[in-house]
Chain A
Amino acid sequence: MERTHYKQEINMTEALMSRINELISHYPEDKRKSALLPVLHEVQDAHDNWLSIELQDKVAEILLIKPVEVYEVVTFYTMFNQRPIGKYMFEFCQTSPCCLNGVEDLMDYTCEKLGVGIGETTADGLFEVRGVECLGACGYAPMMQLGDFYKEHLTKEKVDQLIADCKDDKIILHDK
């Protein structure tokens, strides 16, 4: 399948490389490939939450595997983004228990408020709304994932507050 090729600036900082090497050390010497998923997460977090082909090639080089082995994995798992995405990605769980608690209305509300459709990024590149499958928080519905964290028992007011906090740069996305 033909895919659009997006460009990205790659910056493998020392901190990132040392974390990658630590992750690699979790596996036997000849099983470096096993570190692929955790390494992809680290690299993605350090690169605006998406992975260009060049970045994936870089990961392949570090783990001594073929680039296609990385592409296969990146395209299989839902958490790896293959295009530039909004800085704050609101990933609403839209599986049954969350629907019972009104997540669909909340998604409509959020989309309307941000002026985007599901899967779209706002013009300022700040927000993106997505519907995802069960996140394992059914008892705390409706909820969404924002960065590394869950925002639970959501209401329209809480969504408003979150949007305001994001704009004020008050939201921590990653727990490093």
Chain B
Amino acid sequence: MSQKILLDKINIPGIKTYEVYRQNGGYASVEKALKTLTPDEVVEEVKTSGLRGRGGAGFPAGMKWSFIDKKSGKPRHLVCNADESEPGTFKDRYLMEYIPHLLIEGMITSSYALGANRSYIYIRGEYMWVYKILERAIAEAKAAGWLGKNILGSGFDLDLYVQIGGGAYICGEETALIESLEGKRGNPRIKPPFPAVSGLWANPTVVNNVETIAAVPWIVNNSGADYAKIGIGRSTGTKLISASGHIKNPGVYEIELGLSVYEFMNSDEYLGGMSSDRPLKAFVPGGSSVPVLPAHLIYKTAAGEDRLMSYESLSDGGFATGSMLGSGGFIVYNDTSCIVRNTWNFSRFYHHESCGQCTPCREGTGWMEKVLHRIENGHGREEDIDLLVSIQSKIEGNTICPLGDAAAWPVAAAIRHFRDEFEYHIRFPEKIKNRDHFVAEPFEKVKHLVTKQTV
């Protein structure tokens, strides 16, 4: 059993409620921080912990905190990013739904560290019932004196509110989230200025993922150094992984970073192997935005080392033979799934979710979707594969926000590793008419049709 620090109490009956949460040591980090630590000391602990942003980018949280502008004297804000919408990711929802007070505790301690007196949790609109859970939990915390004026007599004031979104993946991008929180369209802002200088209502703002903030109480209760001992190398601590697809036990798991992908996939403690006797074909380790990997690169890196669940190991080999940990959305595909159809599906998602502000993403995501849709439906042309590679390369790096990259990478990776499957779709349109075309006849069986023959 690996160490759990976020979900260790998840199975205690009634942990959703304030009383049970408090009886089990809840809100201790607030007491410890407000009574015995200065805000800067809390920031230092988080820096020492090596905790990295759990939303996908993996930027060191303590460093992000230290960028917040304290000199201007403007009010500061902490905003929790609970706009979880990356396909394959559903960990934040689990945390908020089953142990909401952990997030609230983390928000109070973190707000104290940042000197923020007005903080928000921005949750996606579709999680309406979780929004209500959080609202009630905040009311409980407030009634118990953990929020409001002069908390624990420390002189620290904090108002904490939940804000509900309206259905837009792009609001998970921190500046789009801030725009949305201001009651506007979720258009990402041009950076600089970064939110740490000019964020919510032009005030210095830190935006952190739910899981990042939920890790703060443990770090404060124990120490940054203790946290840094968990995990491997620069991937410290534990990570929530949302597992879905063709596996025996889908769900949310807390793992110590550094666990091997093989063990995570196959041990009964975690995913328990494939859901049926169909073999593993591919997996996406970090949500739809990150490159898909083919079976031979899953358990071993190109260099032949064990692939581990860590920021470094999953990206080993760069995009040529690696991927990314991203948000921890672990999607597993067996040989009945069609990579072309899946890539089109992701492409449709990004097309649907593009905000439309900047040219490459607005025009390019739709173009890619249309080409992929044609290929998947038997109307592809041989030159479409290179066209897709070209379109994605023209989007990547040229957009305001990372959604462009997120739309481009899966397409590039799918063609990089599964080009023959695209060729098959183009050359044998009559064989892919049915959307379940690989169920009866997996690609492995027909691969020879597109493999170059040596005569």
Interface positions of A (Cβ within 8 A of B): 26, 28, 31, 33-38, 40-41, 63, 65, 69, 72-73, 76-80, 94-97, 99-100, 104, 133-141, 145, 147-150, 174-175
Contacts and interface: CB of A to CB of B under 8 A. Distances in A.
A32 B75 CA distance: 17
A132 B162 CA distance: 24
A73 B244 contact: no
B163 A37 contact: yes
22 contacts: A33-B184, A37-B163, A37-B180, A41-B128, A69-B183, A69-B184, A73-B183, A77-B165, A80-B166, A80-B167, A95-B345, A96-B87, A96-B346, A96-B349, A100-B331, A134-B288, A134-B349, A136-B84, A136-B85, A139-B252, A148-B128, A175-B129
Contacts of B349: 95-96, 133-134
Interface stretch (B55-63, B119-127, B365-373): B119-127
Contacts of A100: 244-246, 331, 333, 337
B232 interface: no
B429 interface: no
Contact of B435 (A38, A41, A104, A138): A104
Nearest to B284: A96
**Across chains A and B, which 6 residue pairs bring their CB atoms closest together, nearest first?**
A77-B166, A36-B183, A138-B244, A78-B167, A79-B167, A139-B250
A133 B353 contact: yes
A59 B329 CA distance: 38
B185 interface: yes
Contact of A136 (B89, B182, B243, B342): B89
Contact of A99 (B132, B186, B251, B345): B345
A37 B124 CA distance: 11
Nearest to B83: A136
Contacts of B127: 136
A26 B159 CA distance: 9
Contacts of B125: 37, 41, 77, 79
B52 interface: no
Interface in B128-160: 128-129, 132
B353 A139 contact: no
